[in-house]
Chains A and B, each alone.
Chain A
């Protein structure tokens, strides 16, 4: 494989989003007839890399070579034309259209200028059969299919475009074991047909079975490339870590284990196929982290506590007493006193066109009003307190909150909830896309709130944060708690290993050998 001329090369590719460097002079070579695995932590730059390849994102600098000549892609359609097809993590299927419509969507077969529905059906059936998903009916609507079937449709759709380079981004994360086995067979066949496959996965066993070549990304750079099977899992994890600590965390209190009674407790919480028998406790003054790969049920768990999910089984206890939380309004009620800092502040946290003042007082309006009339003086006092406490930088309280920087927007979301003095604070990846300075302030604030007696449940995709902020971390995998790490056990190595669901003892052995 080494002597082969690369089919596709990326040289010196960089991409920034605001102040965040997603890719920094990244390089990648792809050869025909091989499966190339891309490894790296959350946020290592893998997603941006393939978005550049697939024409979704334009790089700030660097060049791409296909068959030895330079190419640029203005759109996903242009990349498709060149034979690069990507199966994205977020599905690219149109829900109201049928499976067959979706499979041929980029280039439907035509007859007399109209879509030839017979040919379309034939192509769809062929593609579904090639993907090993002949059980899916081409006329079924995509929105009626379960997630794992949609993923198979996505793969069939990619195959119908006759790609030369096929990129699979976490394409197996929603699949059942039987489907994964089928897909592996399909991928191996495609490899023997001469396709180049890029395979992005967090599942080490999948990579071990499939990959010919591996490249590890870290902080937006490719840090190592090696022939599959020449490095142990431990060495790979080692390569994926090695990140400098860029954040400063407040000191954690030294606490005797199991001092306080739990404020928030879950017993055997399950919901559809996303949450699997989760039990946990959070005590007053404690910061409990939720770790694991993105999308293992962390978000759903927080939503379950916050009264958003229906058909939840198991029990939620507040102060040791079972409660039913039927809505976010019930969750924030004083008897429960819960607050959720959502993942996407732009859609779930803020009303962007409304003013900073209005956004700040939304959650506390009931407390600030008498007989439905808002007490403007009390509102102003509380808002002043919050703006001071969180050091929100704004040109005024009456400008639209959308005009603030990302970090200050996030502060507004948090301040909005702090105005109610919640006892239980759920945070869903609150530092995503905000600058380092604001991150530090948030870490300080979190610890301060905990010291004042709040119970904090904190989901983060950034392992450094979990290590720096949490007293305990629960690692989720496939909707279940796989491991609980307490105090000094919370290391990057342990977090990554349990997130990837690598066998625990192996990792301990590795740790011993290193020391």
Chain B
């Protein structure tokens, strides 16, 4: 059968992102003074998963043809909250983790409710809620500080069996527990359908609103997982405005690199993960080649432009110019 061709076409964006990441990572490790060692991989993984979680969150919303400019702030808010709650005995820590994840879910649900039931534009709604989330984060941590259950933190940022980075394992677990069920559920399909053609989806009796709501809520949850990990790496909470904004914008870049269409209806969180890892590796490449760190934003921008223009070639095939604007 020609099944594999269809599979390939479906996964093209993801595979492309995977290819870009692998290529960069090989260049990176082969030029790294220490080479391809467990240590180097662990560091890269720990740096990469933060953006990977936030990019997964962004993917869910972008699939519905929306955008979530508050993911970075949910990430900060949950980081600050975790620096208060994820501490103490095992039970206290477990409670803290649930509270942090629940907060993320709630933030996402609020976004979803405003966009879907309040019919506000996703961009505006999430800029506003993002500011609110940041405000709360600032109240929680006016100054960097707090602490975290270090046993848990070290376990989740260390290595399993001495080789596999634990953060990577958690990332894969989250993919299996959150992304895979979502993408194969009726709600997930509703999210895709709403992003691709909301009218056709409506005419087909698809539960558009519930699908979109689930996407926004889960996005909050994923951003919160990212926030937890940030706490595990830094042992503190910090409401750093610039960092929150950077994560929001980088998540959009990672999503596009990962083959997720900003017009909605197309792409996968797995692609976005590779997009995020690739995006992170660009920064590391500069480090191994001893570039001045000042070059990093410029370099990242150029790579992003090249990657994104790969996706624009389809426009040359359009025969009715009005389709450019659809």
Contact = CB atoms under 8 A, between A and B. Distances in A.
B294 interface: no
Interface of B: 2-3, 6-7, 9-10, 181, 184-186, 189, 192-193, 195-197, 199-206, 261, 264-266, 318-322
Contact of A309 (B206, B264, B321): B321
Nearest to A102: B204
Contacts of B9: 141
Interface in A279-324: 300, 303, 307-311
Contact of B321 (A96, A97, A327): A327
Contacts of B192: 94, 96-97
B320 A77 contact: no
Given A56-B203, A106-B204, A308 B322 contact: yes
Interface of A: 56, 75-77, 80, 88, 91-98, 101-102, 105-106, 108, 110, 113-115, 117, 137, 139-141, 157, 271-272, 300, 303, 307-311, 327, 348
Contacts of A93: 197, 200
Nearest to A342: B322
A93 B203 CA distance: 9
Contact of B196 (A91, A96, A114, A139): A96
B265 A96 contact: yes
Contact of A115 (B189, B203, B265): B189
A59 B206 CA distance: 22
A303 B7 CA distance: 37
B321 A105 contact: no
Given A108-B186, A139-B3, A348-B322, 9 more contacts: A76-B205, A94-B197, A95-B265, A105-B201, A106-B204, A113-B181, A139-B6, A310-B318, A327-B321
A110 B184 CA distance: 9
A88 B203 CA distance: 9
B206 A105 contact: yes
Given A97-B196, A310-B320, A114 B266 contact: no
A193 to B, nearest CB: 23
A414 B134 CA distance: 50
Most A C-beta atoms less than 10 A away, residue of B186, B192, B195, B199: B186
A106 B204 CA distance: 6
A359 to B, nearest CB: 18
A115 B130 CA distance: 33
Contacts of B197: 93-96
B184 A94 contact: no
A310 B193 contact: no
Nearest to A80: B205
A42 B142 CA distance: 67
The 6 closest A-B pairs by CB, nearest first: A77-B205, A139-B6, A96-B265, A96-B196, A92-B203, A114-B184
Contacts of B196: 94-97
Contacts of B204: 76, 92, 94, 102, 105-106, 157
B321 A308 contact: yes
Contacts of B322: 303, 308, 348
Nearest to A99: B6
Nearest to B267: A96
A303 B323 CA distance: 12
B320 A308 contact: yes
A306 to B, nearest CB: 10
Contacts of B318: 310
A137 B186 contact: no
Contacts of A88: 203
Contacts of B2: 137
A303 B193 CA distance: 30
Nearest to B324: A308
B33 to A, nearest CB: 45
Given A95-B265, A140-B6, A272 B184 contact: no
30 contacts: A56-B203, A76-B203, A80-B205, A92-B204, A93-B197, A93-B200, A94-B197, A94-B265, A95-B196, A95-B200, A95-B265, A96-B195, A96-B196, A96-B264, A97-B193, A98-B6, A98-B10, A102-B204, A108-B186, A108-B189, A113-B181, A114-B185, A115-B184, A115-B189, A137-B6, A157-B204, A271-B319, A303-B322, A308-B322, A309-B320
Contacts of B10: 98, 139, 141
B6 A75 contact: no
A313 to B, nearest CB: 12
Nearest to A88: B203
A77 B210 CA distance: 14
Contact of A272 (B201, B205, B319): B319
Nearest to A307: B321
B185 A139 contact: no
B186 A115 contact: yes
Contacts of A139: 3, 6-7, 10
A105 B199 CA distance: 13
A92 to B, nearest CB: 4
Nearest to B318: A310
B255 to A, nearest CB: 15
B319 A310 contact: yes
